[in-house]
Each structure stands twice: as structure tokens, then as C-alpha cells.
Amino acid sequence: MRLLIAIIASISLLITEYRSERLLPLRATLSVFTDSLKYAVDLPVSLFEKTSNELASYNTLKKENTSLRQEQLINRMQLLKFDALEKENIRLRALLENSFKLGEQVLIAELLSINMVADEHIMVVNKGTRFGVHPQQPVLDANGVVGQVFRALPFSSEIMLITDPNHAIPVQVNRNGLLTIAVGSGMSNQLNLPYLPNNADIRPGDLLITSGLGGIFPAGYPVGVVDDFPETTNKSIPHITATPKSLLDRKRELLIVWSSNALMPLTAPLSKTPADNE
């Protein structure tokens, strides 16, 4: 009898969650308890990292400092150039009567070192709805796209990586703008490109960037590099794969991105740019 009640209750819960979002508050409440467990499991690892940081010697810190400073100098220089290019791009797009997306806002989140389900590529970070994180937000790291927010809880959020077999990301080849979709392979260092015609102009070493189609990922972020594949001249389609740019299982800091969906008005950049350029 009790078993029957339990089975009916579970199945009705399953169905309600498939159909609607009504159970989200319940999940959020229960997640306060489970998140404390997640933080507890993460604690030894983060403590170890913190203490090893504290114990780093003066010399290594100094070395790191100088190298970081140099890196920052180089980055800033590139950024200046990039700024000018962006302005120019906006102007040109305005001439073409095309809209342009504004810049993005980011939040730095730290990965919790826990294993969720072994065969799913889902990771947990320490920022949740209390910081305004919401599902489907893109997640990046310093090298490229990591994935998207899959479920946001009050104190943590689950991130589906681009390598998850259930994940697909619209990309384009940086060299020629060829559009396709990169599907996760289930392996942490591989993406599949199954939707390519066999005469597609794609070569090993091509950089794949987000195309901005689909409306979730902002355009222009690196996703991966096309792997070597045997050149075939006949009709057989080679199985083309790519290696993700981001270090999916090594990085601890991630960036959660708010891409403002407001498109820049067509006339505004022209009147604004002179003032901005100085």
C-alpha cells in the first residue's frame, strides 16, 4: 500500500516536472540542504588550494607578479586595438544597416570540485540565483566557451558543458564563416561536427567560434579547433571532430555571462562614436 503511494507520488512528480516549472521552488528549498553538502565536500580541496596559495614563497609570488604584469600590458595593448576595431565595426555595420550586439557583463564563479553523475558532463559552480544567475546563460573561461547554465539554484548552479552528449552549440568556421553545429561527444576533449555536407570547406586546424545563432551564446567566442581527419576525395563523408579550446576539467574559475539582448539602434553609433573615440 505504502509502496503504491510512493510509486504514484514519484511518477506524478516526474510528470509535473516534465510539464511545468512549478516544482522549482521545492527544488530551491531542498537545495539549501544539498548545497551545504556540496560545499562541505568541496571544502578540503579549496582549503588545500588556499593554504598552498598562502604558503607560496615571496620569490614565486614576485615572479608571478612580474609575469602577470607583462601579460596585462600585452593584453591592454591588444584591447586598445580591439576597441578601435570594435568601433569601426559598429560604424561599418551601421552603414550596412545592420544591428550590433552590445558588450556583455560577466560574473566570476568558482567550480566546486564534486562529481555529479559520472557519464554526464555537468559541473557545479558556487554562484546561483542569489547572484542573478538564470538558466541558459553562457559560461566561458579564459580560453573559450565552457557551456551553459543548466539549472540555477539559490547557492549554486549546474552547468552543462559543451562536451555533454545532450548539448549542441551553433558555431561557424572563423576562416570562412561556414555555419554548423558542434555536438558534445561525451568525452571531455572532443566535439562532433555531424551536420556538414561532404563538400564543406573545412580543414584541420580551423578555429570554430560561436555564431550567435540560437540566441544563447554571444557571437565570436572561440569554441574549439578542428582535429585532423583523413582527406577524402570521393563521396564518403569523413567523421569530423574538434577539440574544445577551454580546459574543461582543469579550470576552477569560470565566467558567467549576461549578454544584453538589446540590439544597438542603427543610428545611435554614428552620433555617439565621435564622443567615444576621444
Which parts of this chain interact with another protein (CB under 8 A)?
A: 2-3, 6-7, 9-14, 16-18, 23, 26-27, 30-31, 33-34, 37-38, 40-42, 45, 113-119, 122, 150-151, 158, 165-166, 186, 249
The smaller minimum CB distance to another protein, of residues 120 and 227, is found at 120
Least Cβ distance, residue 158 to another protein (angstroms): 5
Among 251, 253, 264, 180, which residue's Cα sits nearest to residue 214?
180
How far apart, in Å, are the Cα atoms of 155 and each of 21, 33, 143, 195, 218?
A: 19, 10, 26, 38, 25
C-alpha cell at 20: 511545468
Least Cβ distance, residue 113 to another protein (angstroms): 4
Identify the burial level of 135 via C-beta atoms within 10 angstroms of its C-beta, where 0-12 means exposed, 13-18 middle and 19 or more buried.
Answer: middle
The smaller minimum CB distance to another protein, of residues 46 and 143, is found at 46
Rounded CA gap, 184 and 166, in Å?
A: 7
Q: How wide is the angle at C-alpha 109 spanned by C-alphas 211 and 169, nearest 5°?
A: 20
Least Cβ distance, residue 170 to another protein (angstroms): 18
The smaller minimum CB distance to another protein, of residues 9 and 85, is found at 9
The smaller minimum CB distance to another protein, of residues 172 and 185, is found at 185
**C-beta of residue 144 within 8 angstroms of C-beta of residue 169:** no
Least Cβ distance, residue 227 to another protein (angstroms): 19
Least Cβ distance, residue 180 to another protein (angstroms): 20
Among 110, 139, 140, which residue's Cα sits nearest to residue 124?
110
The smaller minimum CB distance to another protein, of residues 150 and 221, is found at 150
Rounded CA gap, 125 and 111, in Å?
A: 4
Give me the sign of the Cα torsion angle 174, 178, 182, 188. Answer: negative
The smaller minimum CB distance to another protein, of residues 147 and 269, is found at 147
**What is the DSSP secondary-structure string of 158-188?**
EEEETTSTT-EEEEEETTT--EEEEEE-SST
Least Cβ distance, residue 225 to another protein (angstroms): 22
Least Cβ distance, residue 124 to another protein (angstroms): 8
The smaller minimum CB distance to another protein, of residues 119 and 278, is found at 119
